[in-house]
Structure 1
C-alpha cells in the first residue's frame, strides 16, 4: 500500500503519527513542507481546492497531517490509516 503524508516535523500530531507508523513498520513517503517549497506548493494546491479542508480552515487549522492513499483517498485521521492497513493485511 502506498501512503503519502503531508506535514511538518514541527507539528506534534505529525510527529506522533510518524512514530506510530514507524512502530508498526508502515512504509510511507513523508512530504515535509517546512523545508521544501515544492512540497508546500503541492500541499497548498490540495488544501485550497478540496472542500474537506473547509472546516479545518474555518477553525484556523492547517490540515496536517494529511494522509493520501494510492487511490487518492485522503484523511486527517491516523485511526483511518491504521484501519485501512489492518484491512489490507487480512
Structure 2
C-alpha cells in the first residue's frame, strides 16, 4: 500500500486524492485532521533526505508518498499518479508562486 501525506487545503493534494479515491492501493493521511497525523508527517520530514531540498526552500513537502518498499518521495509519478499540471491548481505558496 502506498501512503500519501497531504492536506485538504493543498490544491495538489486534493487533485491527487481524487485519483486515488476508492483505490485500495493507496492510503491517504490528512495531516491537518489530527495532531497524531501531523506528528507522524513531521517525524518523517525531519529525518528523510527526500525533504532536504524542500526544507531549504521553506516549503512543506506535501503531497509526499511512502512507497510499498518504504521509499519516501515527493514524486506523484513514482507513486503511479499524475500530478496536476502547473497553473491548473490555485497557488498555496505565500508568494503566489505555486505549491
Shorter chain as denominator, the TM-score bin is 0.7 to 0.9
Deviating above 6 A after TM superposition, structure 1's stretches of 4 or more consecutive aligned residues are none
User: 1:42-57 residue pairs with structure 2 within 5 A?
Assistant: 42-57=40-55
Are the counterparts in 1 of residues 2 and 67 from structure 2 also a CA contact under 8 Å? Answer: yes
In structure 2, runs of 5+ residues without a counterpart are: 82-99
Extract unaligned runs of 5+ from structure 1: 84-90
Q: Give the TM-score taking structure 1 as reference length.
A: 0.79
Structure 1 residue 13: Cα displacement: 0.8
Equivalent position of 1:60 in the other structure: 58
Quick one: distance in 2 between partners of 1:61 and 1:26?
29
Shift of 1:57: 0.9
The two structures, once aligned, show a CA RMSD in angstroms of: 1.8
Q: 2:50, 2:74 within 8 Å by CA — same for their partners in 1?
A: no
Deviation at 1:26, TM superposition (A): 5.8
Give secondary structure in 2 for the equivalent of 1:61.
coil
